[in-house]
Structure 1
Amino acid sequence: MSAEQHLGDAATTQQSGSATQLNRSCESCRALKVRCLPNPETPNQCQRCAKAKRACLFVAPQKRRPRKRTDSRVAQLEREMRAMRVLLKDKHLPVDEGSQDEYDEGNDDDVDFGAQAGTSVRNMHTAQDSGMIPPRPTNYSPVSILPPGSASGASVGALSLPNAQSSHSPDLRMNEDVVDRGIITMETAHELVYLFINDLAPLFPVVVLPTDTNVAQLRQSKPVLFLSVVAAAAIAVDAKLAEILNREIVRLYAERFFIEAEKSLELVQSLLIMIVFSYPPNSPLKIQIYQYTHIAATMALEIGLASKKRVSKKPASRRGGQDQHNVFDQHMAEQARAILGCYHLCSQ
């Protein structure tokens, strides 16, 4: 073979290699996900397309998008970290300065991104100071959550709490409640409990206390339920006192349930009152009504509130002549209200 033939074969190979590459299967076979067999009688047409007498199209394969490199992802995370640090500094929150040098080395656009984020936060504070955004009120006044024109609305407005303290004790001493620590007096506790019985419980009777409830006995026998009732009633009277009592009930409930792992009907009832008559948090991100609802429902199932009570099917004459179905069971009624309250809140 001569040198001219070698050069001609090399040129032919180079031209064929530079030609556009096509898929091995036509579009029809690719859509049907079947094997595409070439037809020896008809060039550029497979056997299935030749038999069906349709056009056989071979297209170029689509180019895959290149995957994002790791260094670009790291740069994006560094930009987000700088923006978060600027936001924390503008809010006067403590920031760890140990890793400051690691994130200071970057491009100019990273610094501009963080500066823009900090500027937006400062603009928000400026708008709030100028009156465009109403700040959260700090001076609370007695309010009422009862509908206007109700028969008991006057009693809520006339209720005063001169003996209630406005400070919160950070020490949670054992065997000492809000009365022992001087947050409220026993007279204030009496007024709040009877406010709950007469005005608040009829709005959502998930927990019903008798009208002749002994407040001192309720405080000693069911301290968690006592505090939840007092905290719920305080919302209708004084928002600042309600905020203090709400923190107290959350801390007491966390001590009993999350730390001591207690489970009882009293804890379920207290949590239901916290859910129904909940104190609004500072931010919508701090709303925990749904979490509280799941905790109450789970505890109610674990202690067996949803199980049926066994009742004898014998006639009243065979049980001594007394119809036990007509005897009111207070404990059974409390369990029924609790499980119905859990079902109602979970269904929402």
Structure 2
Amino acid sequence: MLHRQQSATASFPTREGVRMKKRSRACEECHRLKIKCDLSTSPAGAACERCSRNAIECVPSAPRLQRDRISELEAQVEQLTRTLRDHSINTTPSRSPASPLEDHNGYILSFLDVRIPLGRQQDLLQLFTQRAGTVWPVIRITTDLDLIRQKSPILLLSVLVYTVTHNAQGTELEVHDELVRHTVHILGEEVIGRGQRSLELVQALLVAAFWNKTTRKGDQGSCYQLIQLAADMAIDIGIAGPSLQPSPVAFFGQHEDPTSSGARRTWLACFVALASCSLSLRRPNTIPWNAHHQECLAVLESIGEPSDVFLCQLVRIVQLIQDIHDQLFLCQIAMFLDGSDYATYAAMDTLKNRVDAWAAQIPPGLSSSQTLKVWYHVALIFIFEPILHTPTNKAAFVAPFLPGRISIKDFPKPANITFHLKLALEALVQNCHGVINTVAEMDPSLVVNLPSFSFTPLVLYSLYVLVTAMVSATDPANTYGQCLARDSFHIEACGLKLRHLSASMRVVDPTFSCYTTRLIDATSWLEQWYSDYTAILQRYESNIAS
């Protein structure tokens, strides 16, 4: 082969009389200049004559098809660069001075636009204000799509991804999962990676936490962490009042108007989120109610807008439930309060009067609200929960509310049932039924739009307490059975109502994209559990009788 190559070289004369080998493809420089490319006679033998003479690196050109593909890719890169440049906008005024000039807004909008067209974005924005934003008005946003894209693109992304079902979103399931995953990444990059602080980011974090979602692979952001980030950022931008000062690094980047309605509304939303964490985990609230919360509440109520009035009623009952937890030591697992003691019942009665007083002052336009009705019953369940406590079982009342955590042995067994204890037991069961009956009567599309973090767990908690009360009352050796008959719990009827609600919600959310749908569907454990428990109880009673 070497001999053949040498022979071929001898057939091409050069100007110096030295014969050279001709390339099969010109080098890049010769191809660019469209001139003849001859291999040099230099010892290296790798460069053409022109490149050797001009001391230029000689690189063989790519095949034509490859060159065409490279040109096509370069054109695509140039087009994407122009698109990002066109979409990029200035940093929002409320951002901290430390924000870099080049932010991610253009990229965020490009990412969103490819997956949800502009027309669909406008429809979903309207859907949020009509549904989720109405039944849980913790965040208020404009329906002017152009304005929110310019001012708050991250909040827009969070709303369109989290607050609507996959079915309403109109995307492929893979695209929906991608949106959920990437939105969490964007929030993390903005907050942690880039150190941004703004009212928009606080609101976006709260939306992602209240209407938390997961993908089919289980990827998600922790709602508890998102809420803590939102609360800390709210303090840093100065909307949390004078008693909570920002961190040193955030001192010069505070919000331009911490007393605006939006700032006050957002800080109250942070309280509701933090209180929900406290109720769910049975841990003390890291930022308890203070004078600034009260001031924000008074200001928003004085404005008198319907959504703010509704928000203030939600805040009032959540704050009252937080107070119930503090006075009855529900968030202190090691602290035991004897539910059969008269002093305990006296405290319960005082708290019940406060809940009734709250219900009496609800404005007439909201008196028929099913959402507020559920909160009323839940507040009373929390008040009477201690009658099911023992020194060792309080941890069983912490989420998640699963059938495997229901104790069939560790429950109170007082020697005597006092009149006050009998009233408390009856009230506990009555209010558990009140929650389940109210939710079962709701419009399924309304339930889907309620926050999966702050509302739906209350339903599961109520069912869990009802079943726990039934177990303690149906123990043949326990005195609770003297005032609570087995058929007074209506477990089968409750299971049927929740099963019908779950079926209706699956029509609205057939892919279970919202946690609310999944949580309500998870109550299906009740039917099989009750059947198994009844069978065990019947065998036990038969053995005693024989």
Q: Give your verdict on TM over 0.5.
A: no
Larger radius of gyration: 1
TM-score (norm 1): 0.40
Give the structure with the larger helix fraction. 2
TM-score (norm 2): 0.26
